Structure 1
Amino acid sequence: MSFFTLSIGRLLRQSVTVAILMMSCLGFILPVSVAKAADAPAIAAAANIKFALDDIASQFKQQTGLSVRISYGSSGNFVTQIQHGAPFEMMLSADEFYIEQLQKSGYTQDAGVIYAIGRLALAAPKQSELILDPGLVGLAQFITDGKLIRFAIANPDHAPYGERAREILTNKGLWDEVQPKLILGENASQAAQFTISGSTQGGIVPLSLALAPQFTKLANYVIIPDDLYQPLYQRMALMPNASETTERFYQYLQSPQAQTILSEFGFNLPHTTEMHD
């Protein structure tokens, strides 16, 4: 478990174990196959887009009869996997920086397109005493009162949503106080699961995951204003080995049907010109 900051003893280790079991049950961190067909192309996708992309892939199959296999994880880890030969035919990143990395190294066909703009939420389990508000005033008071014990974000070293969570906390002058209390998820979905599992008192998570029924049953959230962090331009690109099925899925993600689903899951949408650069 090298991807977590675990420095608070046996209780935290037990909480993490429970959280991982819950993640497996809810399908947050396990690679998801949209179809079992062996010839379905492999797609790498940022964890924050899981629920929206599952719906989009399902509609794609209904309309075309074609299937794709989607693995969810952190964008930074996928870059490393692709550079080491992972046979993905397409990547949907949580931040365009990672697609730019791949393009410069010749691992993509081109610069790709922005398919969505990510947003963040401050969330807490329903039993938490943390008061949620868009300006994080309640979190600041919670810290001042000495009540914050554990707080979840994605690992900022390789997860864009973790990077932005750190930026938000820094902008609010809370990073130094929160950092020793952090439980780091390897990706955004793990951070979201820690937030609802009871192993933390709150966390900063993707809005797209906070809107999911699996989340809202167990936690409350508020949307963090977009001006508190740099935009999360989520870019996707095809790999040189992309099949016709993958190319069609890439185009489908830019369709009005797919964009409607992304909007329903809390994403801001790119301008039309950005979609077709």
Structure 2
Amino acid sequence: MTRLILAMAAMLSLEFTPMSVEAGEVVIAAASDLNYAFKELIQSFEQKSGHRVKLSLGSSGNFFSQIQNGAPYDLYFSADIRYPQKLIDSGHAAAGSLYAYAIGRIVLWVPARSTAPVEQKRLEALLDPSIKKIAVANPKHAPYGRAAVAALETAGLYGRVKDRLVFGENISQAAQFVESGAADAGIIALSLALAPSMKAAGRYWEIPADLHPPLEQGAVQLTGAKNAPVATDFLDFLKGPDGRAIMQRYGFVVPDK
């Protein structure tokens, strides 16, 4: 009799206790300046939500083209907010889902061994004879590359250094070029310069924001999203205090709540 009572009690508790939300997966395409920030953010999100995140990193422009051709992503995080806006206009992204999640910054970064006087001469340090190759992201499809070129043009230096520019496919590859020694200096994302490995390997000078157009970054949910509820949960986490704190640690200017 006791066993019967316990069994009935267990059945009643299952009937009236809310079931936990089933774990799902969200597939994200993200600009490579988010590399370190998003890996930390995703780890925290997965631990707290039980959901899984599949992350692909690359240049914003390349992802834009892939999505137009049917690439199966749920969320797209671009380093240029104009790309996700265009996806809304073309019907590839959900109307009303555009979120300006951050403003990025660029820095002039040199390895610790460099003798270039970055702190004293700032961008003009790129004229130092020790700097023979300068890594930047490809401005054809990488917003950070366009910002780097714009800063050099505004400073009156582009014509003097353009023959020494080497282009990474995205901003992460440009950072790899200079960190590995394939380039002597690089104009890279502040978010990458603040990563532990880059902080230990070199030094940087933050390029003033008025030297280039603002790197306003935007996210959007794609119309082909297979798991829209999980995508919404991820965006909500990014907008919340934990997500905002992580982004700010990597140098991003985040919007007010």
Q: Does 1:153 align with 2:136?
A: yes
Deviations 1:107-166 (A, max 9, x none): 110251111110111101112222113863542541xxx443100000001000000000
1:219 shift after superposition: 1.5
| Whole-angstrom CA distance in 1 between matches of 2:77 and 2:59 | 10
- Which of residues 98, 118, 132 is equivalent to 1:132? 118
Which structure: larger Rg? 2
Q: Does 1:187 align with 2:170?
A: yes
In the other structure, the counterpart of 2:83 is 98
Q: Does 1:116 align with 2:99?
A: no
Deviations 1:52-106 (A, max 9, x none): 1111111111111011100000000000111111100110001101112211111
Local SS of the residue matching 1:108: coil
In the TM superposition, what are the counterparts of 1:128-277 in structure 2 within 5 Å? Answer: 128-133=114-119, 136-139=122-125, 141-142=127-128, 146-242=129-225, 243=227, 244-272=229-257
Asked whether the equivalents of residues 126 and 185 of structure 2 are also in contact (C-alpha less than 8 Å), the reply is no
1:216 shift after superposition: 1.7
> Where does the alignment leave 5 or more consecutive residues of structure 1 unmatched?
1-38, 273-277
Tell me the TM-score normalised to structure 1 length: 0.80
Deviations 1:144-196 (A, max 9, x none): xx443100000001000000000000001111121111110000100111111
CA RMSD between the two structures = 1.7
When residues 75 and 135 of structure 1 are mapped into structure 2, their CA distance, relative to the original with a 3 A threshold, is farther
- Which of residues 51, 55, 60 is equivalent to 2:45? 60
When residues 147 and 135 of structure 1 are mapped into structure 2, their CA distance, relative to the original with a 3 A threshold, is closer
Asked whether the equivalents of residues 154 and 186 of structure 1 are also in contact (C-alpha less than 8 Å), the reply is yes
Deviations 1:210-236 (A, max 9, x none): 001111222211211112111111100
Local SS of the residue matching 1:68: strand
| Whole-angstrom CA distance in 2 between matches of 1:175 and 1:134 | 19
Moved more, 157-166 or 249-258: 249-258
Asked whether the equivalents of residues 196 and 218 of structure 1 are also in contact (C-alpha less than 8 Å), the reply is yes
Moved more, 98-107 or 200-209: 98-107
> Where does the alignment leave 5 or more consecutive residues of structure 2 unmatched?
1-23
Moved more, 132-141 or 81-90: 132-141
| Whole-angstrom CA distance in 1 between matches of 2:152 and 2:124 | 13
Asked whether the equivalents of residues 114 and 236 of structure 1 are also in contact (C-alpha less than 8 Å), the reply is yes
Moved more, 234-243 or 128-137: 128-137
| Paired residue total | 232
Local SS of the residue matching 1:95: coil
